[in-house]
Chains A and B, each alone.
Chain A
């Protein structure tokens, strides 16, 4: 997967989980600052990305990633 594909996957999953297609997401978007985002959404996102990208996160690893860009970089390392 290329970085652009990973970025798109993350954005698609976030929109699906928050049930909001109109979200304006950029690499700098801080996940926790997305309107109405909570810890349940965060686990949903973590597990969705694990399934989509066929990778797994260690306990505590996902919490370190605060922006979409950090998430994409971490996923890129794991996927490739």
Chain B
């Protein structure tokens, strides 16, 4: 079930919410907890019930191993290894097996048939959360051992499919706290507003850009210069509004249940460097890879040096790239970001200061170019887009010919946005998105503590919600559901 669907907004969510607080008030917190786990698994199974046994198995095995890690300290190395093998093995089998076979066939000229496995929804997300739980159990950092709280930590439907990637330390105490069990009107109002912001970002902004980005990526051979830039910028904005919109909806829904999910975005397109960017973009993934991949890997290299740290950075970003999907485009995306972060660190060491606008300009253009690779169906198609962006024909709208006649002979006039199915609104949407992402002092997270519940908030919230609901008939999935 998608957050941006009538059945979720008008059926699932009100029922899940109503029954949860009814059970808390009339029966027991335990029954409410069981209800929300059931609701979460129902929500998950709505897509494809075939993957329900897999997530159940993953929860059971991980909980069992985590208990063994705490109860049998003598054999904890064995249990940790078994747990990591299980999780990475499961992810590897479902997500990377065909990619591995394809490369094997290519490299050794073999003909091993592909498995054609569909990626089980949310596996990349729930696997990471459980790996963190295991590693922390190994280190003696886990204090909560309740099975129901653990199951809820993995399956809680607002964040189950595509994050934020939560940490047991911030979630499990909330599930066992009494405060979560009483209706809190301020949380409901805030949650609904943040949900509306997210829904608007997704269905009004991201889905509008999706049309142009998809058309451009389907026609890479024939793009002119402006079409290529429109394609790349449309995807850059689509990705941000899609993913941060999903996150806002998740944070908003969780707030209805008095649960605070961690922040995942902090105006990332305002970044003035790549280090800065990863502290603002998919922040919970950055937190996970820094703590559980980068640091342990760097420490395993022995005495720390700048060069080793940079090597560890590139390696970690390589893994982060691969985490997004089994394709060389994601590997290249990850390595490029790793190298860019390393260059950023070198630059920091020189103590030279770039003008803030120049730093932003370099960062944003790097991001925009790297997202072309991230989105492209193949490396060749990404190269097509790059070629068009820098050496394509510059064609202006033929409708502007009368006003810009003096340019005739220097510039071509014609069908300027045909291959991205765009028009002047593409240009306007891009300008509008630059203003939204760069010009506003607040964002959907920083607004939460300072929210004033007045007529203006009510008006803006209702407007966004109504606008979004009117567009819900053309339902589209979230980009991060594929990762």
Contacts and interface: CB of A to CB of B under 8 A. Distances in A.
B304 interface: yes
Contacts of B304: 43-44, 47
B136 interface: yes
B141 A61 contact: yes
A4 interface: no
B298 interface: yes
Nearest to A36: B348
Interface in A34-80: 36, 38-40, 42-44, 46-47, 58-64
B445 interface: no
Nearest to A32: B279
B77 interface: no
Contact of B295 (A36, A38, A59, A64): A59
B139 to A, nearest CB: 3
B292 A59 contact: yes
Contacts of A64: 141, 169
B145 interface: no
Interface in B298-312: 298-299, 304, 309
A67 B140 CA distance: 21
B290 A39 contact: yes
Contacts, number: 52
B294 interface: yes
B383 interface: no
Contacts of A44: 304, 309
B135 interface: yes
B132 interface: yes
B270 interface: no
A38 B275 CA distance: 7
- Which size bracket describes the interface of A in this complex? 10 to 19
A40 B135 contact: no
A15 to B, nearest CB: 16
A61 B287 CA distance: 13
Contacts of B324: none
B296 interface: yes
A4 B379 CA distance: 57
B291 A63 contact: yes
A39 B286 CA distance: 10
A22 B169 CA distance: 35
B141 A46 contact: no
A40 B309 contact: yes
Nearest to B275: A38
Given A36-B348, A47-B299, A61 B294 contact: no
A38 B294 CA distance: 13
Interface of A: 36, 38-40, 42-44, 46-47, 58-64
Interface of B: 132, 135-136, 138-141, 169, 275, 279, 286-287, 290-292, 294-296, 298-299, 304, 309, 313, 345, 348
Ranked 4 nearest A-B pairs via Cβ: A58-B139, A39-B290, A38-B275, A47-B304
28 contacts: A38-B275, A38-B279, A38-B348, A39-B275, A39-B286, A40-B309, A40-B313, A40-B345, A42-B290, A43-B294, A43-B298, A43-B299, A43-B304, A43-B309, A44-B309, A46-B295, A47-B304, A58-B139, A59-B135, A59-B136, A59-B291, A60-B135, A60-B136, A60-B139, A60-B141, A61-B141, A62-B295, A63-B290
Given A36-B348, A38-B279, A44-B304, 20 more contacts: A38-B345, A38-B348, A39-B275, A39-B286, A39-B294, A40-B313, A42-B290, A43-B295, A43-B299, A44-B309, A46-B295, A47-B299, A58-B139, A58-B141, A59-B291, A59-B295, A59-B296, A60-B132, A60-B139, A64-B141
